[in-house]
Structure 1
Amino acid sequence: MLRTAFSAITSGADAVITGRGHDTVRMLANEQIPVMGHLGFVPRKSTWVGAIRAVGKTADEALELWDRFRRLEDAGAFAVECEIIPADVMAEINRRTGLVTVSLGSGPAADVMFLFTSDICGESDRLPRHARSWGNLAALHKAVRDARVAALSGFRNEVAGGSYPGNAEVAGIADAELTAFRARLKADEISKG
């Protein structure tokens, strides 16, 4: 983890993000690497919470989440991605933390609003509940796929039917040159035969 973080920073990154625990955050911060944590729903840990769901929907779970925010800040993080936390819980936590909060489906009270470009641009037919699309790239991607299939089918059909390549798509040779070439081939075959 440390090697990857140093590589990212020396390659020009301003900070690193991790969904790992407080010890990892502390290790990175102790090496003066700006580190951003990830709390709430963490996709790679979704089986730990039972499903893709909001985290902090009960008072006990919200208090546990608040404790994780405090421990993350104490470990040296400067910011945290807050994913799928109930908006009212996020608002209460945001008022009480010194971390820069980045909301991904956690309501408007965070310091930064975040959505994936693919969701914003509508690259999928199915959006997460917390996302909104301002484009319809999925339709354009489908149109490109359909056009590609049509073009490849047309190519295959014309090759199979013998209409491609036509005279316009092949190089020619002057009749005299072709006759001379054939004569030399025949002479070569006779001498080797």
Structure 2
Amino acid sequence: MALNVIKMKKMKGEGVPLSMLTAYDYPSARLAEEAGVDLILVGDSLGNVVLGYDSTLPVTLDDMVYHTRSVARGAGNTFIVADMPFMTYHGGIDETLRGVRRLMQEGHAHAVKMEGGLEICDTVRAVVNAGVPVLAHIGLTPQSVHTIGGYRVQGKDPEDARRLMKEAKALEQAGAFGIVLELVTEEVAEAITRELGIPTIGIGAGRRCDGQVLVFHDVLQYASPYREKRFVKTYADIGGVIRDGLTRYVQEVKERAFPAEEHVFAADESVLDSLYGAAGEGANSK
């Protein structure tokens, strides 16, 4: 693993953007690493795109440990951040640290991500003091979707912009090594990026962040049906390719076109003799 939190901060200073992508299993992590992404996020978005939930809320710590461990096996040379799932870091610090320990020791993550603003600063500070890098996450925070009124763009009025700036600065002060800005107006995201000494990583937060993150399944349109999102650019439609391939497979099985001669293994006549006997084979041929 070549990248670390010190190098990320240096990249911000040099104006070198950070590329981040989610991954949830061994093959997606392997492909992401081969593509050269800087960071992999094992997001609790796996609830939506892998586990079939309507939100991230049902995702458990066991889910996150399992999927983070799979990603770590596939991307051994990439910096891996694991999401702390819903309500695993809002109780006592001992409970929080137990969850963090599991993601680091069992999941082999290099850092954890936490959603929230001022209310989690003490928790961020305690986790960082325990030796674990923390990536913060403000703006649209999916774990709080019911309290913020749905999936709405943040920073659209002066009061909200000031709130986001205050939260970002407090999280930096608490020791976060970077901050994800999700669905934040471009102007506010740019202002926060200028004010902070740590990298900002945007998703739906415009062009001025220090890096960008997208969901694996959005980049590759790997879903059925796929729902378009304004802030996403699709680089390949593998969902359509997979569907077409599976459809052809089913059709060929039904038509007995698969398996064909090149897919089978032939036995010697002696093997058939041992099964049926020469006399039996002759009788069956009449």
Instruction: Give me the TM-score of the superposition, normalised by structure 2.
Output: 0.53
Q: Does 1:28 align with 2:131?
A: no
Gaps of 5+ in 1: 156-167, 179-193
Q: In the TM superposition, what are the counterparts of 1:72-91 in structure 2 within 5 Å?
A: 72-91=171-190
Q: In the TM superposition, what are the counterparts of 1:7-26 in structure 2 within 5 Å?
A: 7-10=102-105, 12-20=108-116, 21-26=120-125
- The structure whose RCO (Cα within 8 Å, separation 6+) is larger is 2
Higher Cα radius of gyration:
1
**Secondary structure at 1:123's aligned position in 2?**
coil
**Structure 2 vs 1, CA of residues 71 and 142 (structure 1 numbering), >3 Å: closer, same or farther?**
same
Q: How far 1:67 moved relative to its partner?
A: 1.0
Query: Which residue is equivalent to 1:133?
Result: 234
Q: How far 1:3 moved relative to its partner?
A: 2.1
Q: What CA RMSD, in Å, does the superposition of the two structures yield over aligned residues?
A: 2.7
Q: How far 1:71 moved relative to its partner?
A: 1.6
Query: Which residue is equivalent to 1:188?
Result: none
Identity %: 26
C-alpha distance in 1, partners of 2:249/2:157?
50
Gaps of 5+ in 2: 1-95, 257-265, 282-286
| Residue identity in the other structure for 1:56 | G
Q: How far 1:129 moved relative to its partner?
A: 1.6
| Residue identity in the other structure for 1:130 | F
- Render the CA deviation track for 1:141-184: whole Å, top value 9, x for unaligned: 211332344355457xxxxxxxxxxxx99x65114479xxxxxx
| Residue identity in the other structure for 1:3 | R
Q: In the TM superposition, what are the counterparts of 1:25-174 in structure 2 within 5 Å?
A: 25-124=124-223, 125-151=226-252, 153-154=254-255, 172-174=275-277
C-alpha distance in 1, partners of 2:208/2:128?
26
Q: Does 1:4 align with 2:99?
A: yes
C-alpha distance in 1, partners of 2:172/2:132?
14
C-alpha distance in 2, partners of 1:14/1:4?
14
Q: How far 1:74 moved relative to its partner?
A: 1.8
C-alpha distance in 2, partners of 1:82/1:137?
28
| Residue identity in the other structure for 2:129 | N
C-alpha distance in 1, partners of 2:221/2:229?
11
More helix by share: 1
**Structure 2 vs 1, CA of residues 154 and 44 (structure 1 numbering), >3 Å: closer, same or farther?**
farther
C-alpha distance in 2, partners of 1:145/1:138?
11
Query: Which residue is equivalent to 1:183?
Result: none
**Secondary structure at 1:107's aligned position in 2?**
coil
**Structure 2 vs 1, CA of residues 29 and 138 (structure 1 numbering), >3 Å: closer, same or farther?**
same
Q: How far 1:9 moved relative to its partner?
A: 3.1
Instruction: Give me the TM-score of the superposition, normalised by structure 1.
Output: 0.76
**Secondary structure at 1:49's aligned position in 2?**
coil
